[in-house]
Every structure is written in structure tokens, then in C-alpha cells.
Amino acid sequence: MAELRRRVEDGVPKAALARELGVSRETLYRALRAASGSAGAGQGPSGANRPAEVSV
């Protein structure tokens, strides 16, 4: 995973990395989020940056 992160930081497109690994871009994004410890709920390549639900 460290090598993957380094390559992303070096500017290698995530789509190219996903293709090289034989996984979808979404799988790559999920793996990167999981490794960074951030849940990333509602964010990512799916385009769904939804606001949090508000209870009144």
C-alpha cells in the first residue's frame, strides 16, 4: 500500500494504477481511503458529495 500511495503522490493517475492492478477505480479509491483511516462517506469518484443529514 505504501508503494501505491507513493505513486499517487508522484502524480500517477489513479485510473492508470487501477488498470495496472486489475481493479476498478472505485476499489482503488476505497483502498486508499481505508489505508488513510478516513471513512470518506459521501465522497469520492461516485460524485455524491452529499451534505450530512440534519435533525431538528
Terminal CA-CA length for the chain:
42
Is 35's pLDDT higher than 60? yes
Q: What CA–CA distances, in Å, run from 2 to 23, 42, 54?
A: 17, 25, 37
Domain count, the chain: 1
Domain coverage including residue 48 = 1-56
Half-sphere exposure of 6 (CA within 13 A, CB side): 3
Q: What gap in Å lies between CA 22 and CA 38, rounded to an integer?
A: 24
Is 36's pLDDT higher than 60? yes
Q: Which residue has the higher pLDDT, 18 or 2?
A: 18
The three three-digit cell numbers of residue 22, written as one number: 486489475
Please check whether residue 14 is in contact with residue 27, taking contact to mean a CB–CB distance below 8 angstroms.
no
